[in-house]
Amino acid sequence: MLDDVFNRTGPFRELARIQDEMNRLFNSTMSTGTLAVPPVNLWATADEALLTAEVPGMDPAEIRLSVQDDLVLLEGDRKEFRPKEGDEVHRMERNFGPFKRSVRLPFRADAAKVEARFKNGVLSVRFPRHESEKPRKIEIAASA
């Protein structure tokens, strides 16, 4: 307990944050064998969930996006980079090939109202909360 407090509040706070980040990274690669592609961010407000996915170099027409209830499916095929004949490749780190990514939303989405935009290699999607998932205020009648 004391070690945890010391590492989280004192001069070692940044070191503990880096260690947590490294543990998260190793846990994600150890459990799946690879990092999830494409990388996504997902957050929610009271009325909607928002998802962004990094898909640089792709044509939005080549990305397939679907939602059913609370499950989002993102699919595509990133074309392989092929250097010109005679070019010498020094580093090739960007992945290519087909990808299929599913993400569970924190609630059921209204599929008819989903909006998706693509700008600068980032896909941004808004998933409005389905009406049946929204909290309802219940009026309480006074007894006579």
| Structural domain of 70 | 36-82+94-133
How many residues would you count in the chain?
Answer: 144
Tell me which of 49 and 131 has the higher pLDDT: 49
**Which of 63-72, 73-82, 85-94, 120-129 shows the lowest mean pLDDT across its residues?**
85-94
- What tokens does 43 get? 């957050």
Same domain, 103 and 115: yes
pLDDT digits 0-9 by tens, 14-73: 777 777 777 776 665 544 445 578 999 999 998 999 999 999 989 999 999 999 989 999
Give the per-residue pLDDT at 33: 47
- To the nearest 10 degrees (0 to 180), the angle between helices 13-32 and 2-9 is 110
Same domain, 115 and 54: yes
Residue 119 lies in a domain: yes
**Which of 2-6, 84-88, 109-113 shows the lowest mean pLDDT across its residues?**
2-6
Q: Into how many domains does the chain fold?
A: 2
40 contacts 101 by C-beta, under 8 angstroms: yes
Provide φ and ψ at 94, rounded to 5°.
-75, 135
Give the per-residue pLDDT at 1: 47
Distance CA 106, CA 110 (A): 13
pTM for this prediction: 0.66
The dihedral over CA atoms of 127, 128, 129, 131, expressed in degrees to the nearest 10, equals -140
Give the per-residue pLDDT at 28: 52
Same domain, 104 and 75: yes
CATH code, 69: 2.60.40.790
57 contacts 120 by C-beta, under 8 angstroms: no
